[in-house]
Amino acid sequence: MADQDTSIKTTKDVRDRLRALARERGTTMNDLLEELVTRELTQQEREERAQLALEEIRQTTGVTVSGEARARAQEFLQELERRGHAA
């Protein structure tokens, strides 16, 4: 079954920016949007990748990362993200 088109409400400024970006890249706004949204991971996808990484660490090194170490790492990454947005 073919994908059906749908509409997304946005501002004129956002639409115009999408159009300009798509034109610069030699693509359509639809393809540009698809590229942008597939680049970003959902929270569930990030969690799944983290679990896979932790399992690979365990299998490769024999080390099991504690919940406490994982929480500290997550806090560290969140702080880096906050600083990045503030810059």
Alpha helix ranges (H) inside 40-66: 43-61
Task: Name the more confident of 19 and 84.
Answer: 19
Is the pTM higher than 0.85? no
Burial of residue 59 (number of CB atoms within 10 Å: 0-12, 13-18, 19+): exposed
Q: What is the pLDDT of residues 37-78, one digit of tens each?
A: 999 889 899 889 989 999 999 999 999 999 999 899 889 988
- Rounded distance between C-alpha atoms, residue 59 and residue 35, angstroms: 33
Specify whether the CB–CB gap between 23 and 8 falls below 8 A. Answer: no
